[in-house]
Amino acid sequence: MSALQTISNHSLRNCIRLFGVSSSNLYKSLGQRSFSQKQEGIPAASDNLGWFKKLLPIRSIDPGKESHSVLLAEKEIVYELQFHQVKPEFMVEYLKEFENFVSITTEKKTGAELVGSWTVEIGDQDEAVHLWKYPGGYEVLNEATEVYRTDPQLEKFRLNRNKMLRSRKNQILLAFSFWGEPKQRPAEKNIYELRSYVLKPGTMIEWGNNWARGLRARKMYNEAVAGLFTHIGDLYTIHHMWAYDNLHERKRVREAAWRRPGWDDCVAYTGPITVADYMKEVLTNPNYGYYMHRDVFGKGGDFITSPEISQMFGELIAVWCVHEWMNAGKPKKLQVVELGPGRATLADDMLRTFRKFSELNDIVSLNLIEVSPKMKQLQHAKLCQTGILDDKIPNLNTSMTRYNIPVTWHNDIQLLPEEFTFFIAHEFFDALPIHVFLKNEELWREVLVDVDESGENLRFVQSRQSTISSKLYKLNEYSNGRNIFEFSPETGLNVEAISKRLKRYGGFGMIIDYGHFGTKEDTFRAFKKHKLHHPLKDPGEVDLTADVDFHYMKKVAEKDVKVFGPVNQGDFLHQMGISIRLQMLLENANEKDKENLMSGYKMLTEKDQMGERFQFLSLLSPKHCNENYEPAGFSTKKS
């Protein structure tokens, strides 16, 4: 069965809501999205155009096998979900009136209990949503409805309220027995997310059984609030409600769920996923992720990086680090942090170079940010001659390198010691997940990954309406007039985390990657065995990447630190003296080594190879540089 056959029109509504303490409070909220129903096939890998240039809106999904079973709730409790579109000028008055209405329903002993009440902040603006509970089922609902209809005080409220509304609708719902009753969360759980789905008739039991399994992957986080399905009004509609402390916690919890067995299978039944979610799953799934269990670098892998080409690259990065450390006043500790260190070739070259500077003895420590167990083992083997690495066991994620410099592995930048730091990120940001948006008649639509009619192949589709991502992120601010915009929230979060640490604890950073300054549109692609490959073919077997937007990174970083660049790799290396270093190495090299040195030099510096394609961006704590300071390698003066 196709993973999408339980959904009829792929309508998915997503609202994040700020939640209060008691049911009589009125709450705020965020978001809505729907997905498309029609889409042409994607271009072949050999096409000159990018993957999203030919993407057309709207495509249909074949209905699949229907189940004729009916999924029922166990408990005799009925819920009512109300959606009120409020005229903007009446919102304040409406909320006050509704508060009075809740008090009156209690006084009149209607039997209705308000579970929660929200207003939307991202999504359908000026919308209020209320969830009521009727213990005792339809009998209590009937009695309450009669009171609402005949009581003069409530009738007066209803007439006055209706003048404030543009439209209203309600649904009668039951709770899935496996989900439990909706309950209010503690005060700190102040963000609610409502996701709604419309199913194919007859597939409710398939959906329920699948989610009963999938929820096991989410129980440890206690964010699942309610699972409801309609009994009267808008049939075949499902509502899921989730609670989070804040948006950052939502991101963390959702990403953690993908690392738990069973969640990916569950989500496969709920419709298309974003390109960002697809990248996360393909690259870092604990069981099948591209980076997680193999060596992907070098000639035997799918790509080669600058440190693998020549030792001169890592040596000059180390020299740059020493220069900026001296300029900062030679702090007593120098914590070197590399994000996504690959085989640790760059780290090894830097540590070897640091040994040439006696002032660095006993003050340098190395911290590697790495999520792949396989890469951690390769890095340990490269840097450390003895010992073992097992980050599941306390104290076994730290070792001593052969340069007598301690190295520690971390999964998250937030776990780093709080001290003076040199951050280095070489080809790290190009692998971070991106959302892809297309501008259609001044509105942003998101590109999603879906299953085709056969159920066997993946393809791109375009959302019918705006998604939560297209509303949450400042697309017009960062897109620079582009109609196809690849946006990486994780890039922003990482750059922000680095910048804030540099500002608070001191230090400097270097970001090196292939990219552009806010100009390119369509760069998402895949590589396999050093050749371009279809990004939706062979997931888990290919590297997925997109060009880095240095304009966006610079804009984020400038809030906290001084930013220099980007400059071309060739220009940076020449300013740092790569030609001089090359001559020194050539003096003692044999003919084959000379050939390799010259080949590596040209590949790193020449414009038609890596010299212009790769860009360098430096971040400096404002504590360590005056207004006119320029870091080494970033001089704007013409020689």
pLDDT tens digits, residue range 436-457?
999 887 788 889 888 776 667 7
| Cα separation, 430 vs 447, whole angstroms | 19
Task: Report the domain count for the chain.
Answer: 2
Which of 79-88, 269-278, 296-305 is predicted with the least confidence, judged by mean pLDDT?
296-305
| Cα separation, 359 vs 322, whole angstroms | 10
* Of the residues 271, 300, 327, the one at which a domain ends: 271
Whether 377 has a pLDDT exceeding 60, the answer reads yes
Residues 526 and 532: beta-carbon distance below 8 Å? yes
| Cα separation, 275 vs 446, whole angstroms | 9
Q: What is the pLDDT of residues 248-263, one digit of tens each?
A: 777 777 766 665 555 5
State whether 231 and 286 are in the same domain: no
| Cα separation, 389 vs 373, whole angstroms | 10
Which of 180-194, 404-418, 433-447, 481-495 is predicted with the least confidence, judged by mean pLDDT?
180-194
| Residue 440 covered by a domain | no
Residues 6+ apart with CB under 8 A from 579: none
Rounded to 5 degrees, what angle do the CA atoms 66, 69, 75 make?
140
| Residue 480 covered by a domain | no
> 359 or 453: which carries more pLDDT confidence?
359
CATH number of the structural domain spanning residue 127 = 3.30.70.100
Over range 460-465, report the average pLDDT. 83
Residues 6+ apart with CB under 8 A from 143: 110, 111
State whether 191 and 290 are in the same domain: no
* Of the residues 222, 248, 271, the one at which a domain ends: 271
Supply the DSSP string of 19-63, one letter for each residue. Answer: --SSTTS-EEEE------S--PPPPPTT-SS-TTTT--S------
CATH number of the structural domain spanning residue 579 = 3.40.50.12710
Whether 557 has a pLDDT exceeding 90, the answer reads yes
Over range 422-443, report the average pLDDT. 91
* Of the residues 271, 302, 331, the one at which a domain ends: 271
Rg (CA), the chain: 28
| Residue 451 covered by a domain | no
Residues 194 and 13: beta-carbon distance below 8 Å? yes
State whether 223 and 283 are in the same domain: no
| Cα separation, 263 vs 286, whole angstroms | 12
State whether 233 and 283 are in the same domain: no
Place of tokens 């999203």: 52
What is the domain range of residue 50? 7-271
Whether 51 has a pLDDT exceeding 80, the answer reads no
Q: 60 pLDDT band (50/70/90 cuts)?
A: very low
Which of 86-95, 142-151, 326-335, 598-607 is predicted with the least confidence, judged by mean pLDDT?
142-151
Coil vs helix vs strand at 604: helix
pLDDT at 573: 95
State whether 263 and 286 are in the same domain: no
Q: 501 pLDDT band (50/70/90 cuts)?
A: very high
pLDDT at 459: 86
Q: 245 pLDDT band (50/70/90 cuts)?
A: confident
Over range 105-120, report the average pLDDT. 87
Q: 324 pLDDT band (50/70/90 cuts)?
A: very high
Q: What is the pLDDT of residues 134-158, one digit of tens each?
A: 988 888 888 888 888 888 888 888 8
